[in-house]
Amino acid sequence: MIVDLRSDTVTQPTSEMLDAMLRAHVGDDVFGEDATVNLLETMAAELFGMEAALYCPTGTMSNQIAIKVHTQPGDEVICDQTAHVYQYEGGGMAFNSGVQSRLIPGNRGRITADQVAAAINPDDVHKAHTSLVCLENTSNRGGGSCYDLSDIQQIRTVCDNNNLSLHLDGARLFNAIVARNESPKQYGELFHSISVCLNKGLGCPIGSILIGSQAFIKKARRVRKVFGGGMRQAGYMAACGVYALKNNIIRLQQDHDNAKEIASNLIKTTFTAGLLPVETNIIIFEIQPPFQAAQIAAALKEKNILAIPISPTHIRMVLHLGITPAMVQYVIDTILSLNL
Ligand SMILES: *Cc1c(COP(=O)(O)O)cnc(C)c1O
């Protein structure tokens, strides 16, 4: 048995999900004729109370398309300094959209309306034109931290007053929605566009969905084609997204509970200095001297538990639907008895 806590991207489709994929009705989606892709896009748009949606191969592509549609070359995009769109998309916003980022030191990945307001450039020919704010919920580098909706509302007000678009990198948005007992429609009201990963905690092997207004999605569809993301009989993959939206959202609570249970035992170990608050399915814990993150990760690997040392002093564990109660118990027993 391998307990893979490196990421919630490692999930494998269940046999029910694979069944749904095999039975999908498909067509050429570039012609708009794939019934299953159309169904997924309609479902996602309705779920968020927005007008339209676009199925994309990856969350990175969803974000990059959104940035491209919301900006012009030379513009500036405001985001947290740890944001995925800045840290982990290969410099994509510069490469694909010719824009630069204005980085804000947030609180575990979350920025405030005051910080956004202070980062907007004046109307001055020397300055880049600020056109977009990107938020991330949950925040990956924030250890799965969640925004308060009231804080997002305040950011939206600043955006409205300054003619800025507001995009949500919601790769793990459903984790936040479940943890905070919110509804997707509350997010649909606050953002101009939202990207959601299907390939993480929702358990799909592939896929992401970008949601927005009719006009936004029309432009996004063109950009997706330009980026090489226009797929043909994509319904075989979209079918797992339909399955996931129906079956795999509520169960995310189990992953959150598992994360809290492991975290409450990690804190008892000799090698743990502290943990970021565990709000959803991500645990980030700090290793104290004389131990090192790589050493602890290696010791766990010896016991068939995989986790990523994300810095010399920090390890990340991510819970997901592939982790059974027996595995959680095994992880707890192992960390409490680790021989270092
Ligand atoms: C995983 C992730 C993405 C991108 O997803 P891919 O499908 O792997 O490209 C975007 N944003 C955040 C916060 C993520 O964690």
149 pLDDT band, cuts 50/70/90, is very high
Does residue 139's CB lie within 6 angstroms of at least one atom of ligand 1? Answer: no
Q: What does the pLDDT look like over 66-93, one tens digit per residue? A: 999 999 999 999 999 999 999 999 999 9
Q: What mean pLDDT, rounded, does the chain reach?
A: 97
Q: Which atom of ligand 1 is nearest to the CA of 58?
A: 7
**Of residues 73, 169, 83, 77, the one with CA closest to residue 131:** 77
User: Which domains does the chain show, CATH number per domain?
Assistant: 15-247 (3.40.640.10), 251-337 (3.90.1150.10)
**Strands laid side by side in the 52-56 sheet:** 52-56, 208-212, 193-197, 165-170, 130-136, 76-80, 100-104
Give the span between the Cα atoms of 150 and 46, in whole angstroms.
23
Mean pLDDT of 52-69: 98
Amino acid at 101: S
- Best of 96, 134, 140 for a ligand 1 pocket test (most atoms within 8 Å of beta carbon): 140
Question: Does residue 169 have its Cβ closer than 6 Å to ligand 1?
Answer: yes
The response to whether residue 136 sits with its C-beta less than 6 Å from ligand 1 reads yes
Could you identify the atom of ligand 1 that is nearest to the CA of residue 169?
Answer: 11
Quote the CA–CA distance of 249 and 136 in Å, as a whole number: 19
Each residue's pLDDT tens digit, 295-330: 999 999 999 999 999 999 999 999 999 999 999 999
| Cα distance between residue 255 and residue 201, in whole Å | 9
Q: Is any atom of ligand 1 closer than 6 Å to the C-beta of 34?
A: no
pTM as predicted: 0.96
Average pLDDT over residues 148-169: 98
Is the beta carbon of 60 within 6 A of some atom in ligand 1?
yes
d(CA 280, CA 184): 17
Residue 250: exposed, middle, or buried by beta-carbon count in 10 A (0-12, 13-18, 19+)? exposed
Distances (CA, A) of 39 to 187, 225, 257: 21, 20, 32
pLDDT given at position 311? 95
Q: 24-44, pLDDT tens digit by residue?
A: 999 999 999 999 999 999 999
Whether 260 contacts 278, CB under 8 Å: yes
How many Cβ atoms sit within 10 Å of the Cβ of residue 219? 17
CA dihedral 242, 244, 249, 254 (to 10 degrees): 170
Cα separation of 321 and 249, whole Å? Answer: 11
Q: How many residues are given for the chain?
A: 340
pLDDT in tens, 197-231: 999 999 999 999 999 999 999 999 999 999 999 99
Q: Ligand 1 centroid vs 197 CA: distance in angstroms? A: 7
Band the pLDDT of 340: cuts 50, 70, 90: confident
Pocket test for ligand 1, best of 6, 10, 65, 84 (most atoms within 8 A of CB): 84
pLDDT band at 277 (very low <50, low <70, confident <90, very high): very high
